[in-house]
Structure 1
């Protein structure tokens, strides 16, 4: 019944649909998860099928340990799909709130804390999985961070927390193959576009580069990190004009 309603884009019984969609948000069937449920969330959120109370309740549920942080710390587990797509839908809700203004400053701060915790503690960094489609945990959480940073209630005091999480991901020996570095560069550029580039941000980038350059020989892991850093800086360069943004 759920699949039929979603294929027909019949969103009239929104309360029942939300319950069933949440139960299946991390469904391992990529057609159900990506094509039906996620697209239904897009339609229901952006086209005002949900009441303000439903939007708030959905936001709170997705932030719980049963969704955004469900099973975090495991590798190669199906739990990644639930975490990753919870992050995507949270991004939709925060984007919608830029016009609705239902959320409070404390809620934006809380979702930021959760997103940064997610990036630092996510162990399953797979992008596309052959049998089950997109896991894309790092990319989806980076998208969520971008929505948070561009929300009116995001404050400059939250700046360094975001930088810590982003640099942690870049400074990883994991081989990102599915646009993750590009996606991590987007919230980084959003920070600079909104508040300029801080001295702390510059120091962290310089520390990454100097650590690599100081080595006389490079291991395979070092080579991966160098590639991540190079691609991250290149992607940011084309998203911001640093001359227009003074240091904090």
Structure 2
């Protein structure tokens, strides 16, 4: 895993970045990505981190809007690699605010426009755009360059992504990793319930069946609604059980040391949305929050 001594770092890096879109998963998943992340962790790119990130981001635009072709692996692994680059900056404080904010703009633009949501693809291996995008948003959520405004934008991007119509039902842990990105946002304690609860209500509206003269207007639920419903349940479970940080990220021990602020209120707010999906099924367990107080559980 050492940097080759018989060729320049630039030459090796260009080749490895190109291989992130290779159709052979052995080249992409067993060679290019592990080598780049190992060199990143060892500090090989510390003086070049801004340029490396700028060189990775165009891969997220390659073939954007297509669905079902090989271009998806370049977009997805570019996003995953950018998450690692931002993680390195989160550890070492090497990149300017303007660069990270620019990467955030590029990342969120890609994520909401991505049409190919395949997880495992025979012959191609993993694509995992939804999961890799979630990892990228979680890296941005940890960034010292992201304050209340930027974190709110990330929250809205997640809702846009979850609610967008799609033909794909997400599997392979996609909703778990996306919920973990939200938990990372919540652990920053920059977003109060006045921001998060309306966001949850927006997701809840997305899973309520439309009705025409008392009957469903179309087959229900479509894939996007199933994804939203699964996402809300994953978020509820993570709020209830708690999540932990990554061992390789120095700030995570402190970030995840305590539950997020307003956890109890957020748990009940998530449950309100899950219950409203099928109100005939679930027994009411909350009562109205008194003025100046918190909601309580019966």
The TM-score bracket by the shorter chain reads 0.7 to 0.9
Alignment of 1:139-154 (within 5 A): 139-154=131-146
Deviations 1:38-63 (A, max 9, x none): 0101111001233512x221111112
Cα–Cα, structure 1 residues 224 and 105, in superposed 2: closer, same or farther, change >3 Å? same
8 Å Cα contact 1:73-1:123 kept in structure 2:
yes
Larger RCO, structures 1/2 (Cα 8 Å, 6+ apart):
1
Gaps of 5+ in 1: 1-8
Aligned equivalent of 1:98, options 90, 115, 127: 90
Equivalence for 1:181: 175
Alignment of 1:34-183 (within 5 A): 34-53=29-48, 55-64=49-58, 67-171=59-163, 172-173=165-166, 174-183=168-177
CA distance in 2, matches of 1:83, 1:131: 17
Equivalence for 2:256: none
8 Å Cα contact 1:129-1:135 kept in structure 2:
yes
8 Å Cα contact 1:76-1:124 kept in structure 2:
yes
CA-CA distance at 1:157 after TM superposition: 1.0
TM-score (norm 2): 0.72
Q: Check if 1:208 corresponds to 2:203.
A: yes
Bigger helix fraction: 1
Cα–Cα, structure 1 residues 206 and 70, in superposed 2: closer, same or farther, change >3 Å? same
Equivalence for 2:283: none
8 Å Cα contact 1:143-1:183 kept in structure 2:
yes
Q: Which structure has the bigger radius of gyration?
A: 2
Cα–Cα, structure 1 residues 192 and 132, in superposed 2: closer, same or farther, change >3 Å? same
Gaps of 5+ in 2: 243-258, 266-298
Deviations 1:39-93 (A, max 9, x none): 101111001233512x2211111123xx121111111121111111111111111
SS state at 1:222 partner: coil
Q: Check if 1:190 corresponds to 2:184.
A: yes
8 Å Cα contact 2:207-2:229 kept in structure 1:
no
8 Å Cα contact 1:159-1:191 kept in structure 2:
yes
Which sits farther off after the overlay, 75-84 or 220-229? 220-229
Which sits farther off after the overlay, 210-219 or 169-178? 210-219
Which sits farther off after the overlay, 167-176 or 41-50? 167-176
What is the aligned residue count? 236
Indicate the RMSD between aligned Cα atoms, in angstroms.
2.2
Equivalence for 2:252: none
SS state at 1:74 partner: coil
